[in-house]
Structure 1
Amino acid sequence: MLICYTSNKFPTDYIPTVFDNFSANVVVEGITVNLGLWDTAGQEDYNRLRPLSYRGADVFVLAFSLVSRASYENVLKKWIPELQHFAPGIPLVLVGTKLDLREDRHYMADHPALVPVTTEQGEELRKHIGATYYIECSSKTQQNVKAVFDAAIRMVIKPPLKQNEKRKKKPRGCFLNVLCGRNIVRLK
């Protein structure tokens, strides 16, 4: 999703590493934002390293695969406890990835035991974890990839007002971490 967002193309030969960095300048609601993206490994081997990248984050984008029940369940089992421990109170955008596969009849026919995550289940999870947005996307087709990052950036430059709260400050710089099952993205 990160490479797709920064390069506008789906990577066919990407090899994941412990840490990768990408950057992009984007304009959201007339504001230019420098996006520094950190792709980090989500595997257990990196549980001690990963939280080091959380410090100073303004928002997290937490992604799971729409065609992996285990990925969906890890949002509650792994990612939410980790974020509550290392980055409490940081707002969330929840993202269901691989939308193209959930809608692909051939893929679903080749995987008859697969029960994809529905939009309703994603929305229910969003409410349960207190995420501000739930967006489904496909890196392969680029569907809604920009919307994911625009929503996260908007949460930083125009945070939602809490009840009885008035906006007093001008928008400030942004710092965004994104968890994409294995990815963390930083927005500076």
Structure 2
Amino acid sequence: MAQPNVQSLKCVVTGDGAVGKTCLLISYTTNAFPGEYIPTVFDNYTTSLMVDGKPISLGLWDTAGQEDYDRLRPLSYPQTDVFLLCFSLINPASFDNVRSKWYPEIDHHAPNIPIILVGTKLDLKEEYDRREDAEKNGDRHAFENASKEVKELKEKKRQRPIEFRDGLACAREIGAYKYLVCSALTQSNLKGVFDEAIRAVLNPRPPPKAKKSKCTVL
């Protein structure tokens, strides 16, 4: 039972399957990246922490992004205080689905709840950029030993990793409280994602209204 001065918050993590939602939660709560076995959905977990001097009991709820769970998933949404809407920085389709699927779903079932837009797998995005730079400098074998997802993206013509400006434009389009990128593997900015999720509840601000038009990258 939470102490009277401890604020309890519910944070639901959503987004396409295989974008790293479960790894994000496991890495954050255990301080270690999961090994070979990664469950489809992470068991609900509550952690106690301090943010800006305030004691918080943070309830973390994972969701399955696959279509098979489309009817069950919204059952997790009632009483949510903040959403982490995730996509993979090296999976453009997961980014497109933020607008076409995930934001409409959240807005329908839990309107006016703050959203943090999260670009995951920053380590793989950085790997892609390093290998691409090497290729531009004449290394024809730059992608030979690349990580599986990096190699898969490279093989898709006309598709590239999601740049920060694109994520920022999307966040503005859907009226997200903030846009952040992180890596569950290296834990780069991982704590920052959850701290900002808490701040979105503690320091609410009227989010910019979601724009109806699609954001265009010039």
TM-score tier by shorter-chain length is: 0.7 to 0.9
Amino acid at match of 2:27: C
How many pairs align? 162
Aligned match for 2:165, one of 107, 120, 128 = 120
Q: For the residues of structure 1 that align with 2:131 and 2:174, how far apart are their CA atoms?
A: 33
- Tell me if 1:85 matches 2:102: no
Give the aligned partner of residue 10 of structure 1.
Answer: 33
- Tell me if 1:100 matches 2:132: no
Give the aligned partner of residue 182 of structure 1.
Answer: none
Percent of aligned pairs sharing the same letter: 53
The answer to whether the 8 A contact 1:20-1:40 is kept is: no
- Tell me if 1:149 matches 2:201: no
Root mean square deviation, CA, Å? 1.8
Q: For the residues of structure 2 that align with 1:23 and 1:121, how far apart are their CA atoms?
A: 32
SS at 1:96 equivalent: strand
Amino acid at match of 1:87: A
Which structure features the higher share of strand residues?
1
* Gapped regions of structure 1 (runs ≥ 5): 163-188
Aligned match for 2:77, one of 54, 61, 79 = 54
Q: Which has the higher contact order (CA 8 A, sep 6+)?
A: 1
Amino acid at match of 1:51: P
Give CA-to-partner distance per residue, 1:128-178, whole Å, 9 cap, x none.
Answer: 11111100100000001110000010111222268xxxxxxxxxxxxxxxx
Q: For the residues of structure 2 that align with 1:97 and 1:39, how far apart are their CA atoms?
A: 15
Q: For the residues of structure 1 that align with 2:206 and 2:167, how far apart are their CA atoms?
A: 24
Q: For the residues of structure 2 that align with 1:49 and 1:161, how far apart are their CA atoms?
A: 30
SS at 1:24 equivalent: strand
Q: CA deviation at 1:14?
A: 3.5
The answer to whether the 8 A contact 2:77-2:109 is kept is: yes
CA 1:161–1:86 in 2, change beyond 3 Å: closer, same or farther?
closer
The answer to whether the 8 A contact 2:26-2:42 is kept is: no
Amino acid at match of 2:46: S
Give CA-to-partner distance per residue, 1:20-60, whole Å, 9 cap, x none.
Answer: 22221111011111112122211111111110110011211
The answer to whether the 8 A contact 1:59-1:92 is kept is: yes
Bigger-Rg structure (1/2): 2
| More displaced stretch, 9-18 vs 114-123 | 9-18
* Gapped regions of structure 2 (runs ≥ 5): 1-23, 133-141, 208-218
SS at 1:20 equivalent: coil
> What is the TM-score of this pair, normalised by structure 1?
0.80
